[in-house]
Structure 1
Amino acid sequence: MWLADEEGRLVPAARLGLPREAEERLREEVRLLSGPSRRQLGPEGASVLARIQHHGRLLGGLALVQAGHTHPARSRVLAFAEDLAHHCALALENAHLLGQFQSAIHVRDEFITVAAHELRTPLTALKLQLQTLQRPLRQGAPCEPLLTRFQAVSRQVARLGRLVEGLLDVGRLNTGRLPLEREPVALDELVHDVVEHFSEELGRAGCEVSLSLQPHVTGVWDRARLEEALIHLLGNAVKFGAGRPIGLRVEQWGGTARLLVEDQGIGVSPEALERIFGRFERAVPSQEYGGLGLGLFLTRQIVEAHGGSVHVTSQPGEGATFVLELPASSPGAYMPLPGPWPRPPADSHPT
Structure 2
Amino acid sequence: MQGCNSASISFIIKQGFVACRAGHQDPSVVGYSQEDLALPNSLFDLFTSWSVKHRKTYASPKVKVKRYEIFKQNLRHIVETNRRNGSYWLGLNQFADVAHEEFKASYLGLKPGLARRDAQPHSSTTFRYENAMNLPWAVDWRKKGAVTPVKNQGECGSCWAFSTVAAVEGINQIVTGKLISLSEQELMDCDNTFDHGCGGGLMDFAFAYIIGKQGIHTEEDYPYIMEEGYCREKQPQSNVITITGYEDVPGNSETSFLKALAHQPVSVGITAGSRDFQFYKGGIFDGSCGVELKHALTAVGFDSDNGQDYIIMKNSWGKNWGEQGYFRIRRGSGKPEGVCDIYKIASYPIKNVPGWGP
Q: Compute the TM-score of the two structures, normalised by the length of structure 2.
A: 0.26
The structure carrying a bigger strand percent of its residues is 1
How high is the TM-score relative to the length of structure 1? 0.26
Higher relative CO (CA 8 A, sep ≥ 6), structure 1 or 2?
2
Q: Choose between structure 1 and 2: higher helix proportion.
A: 1
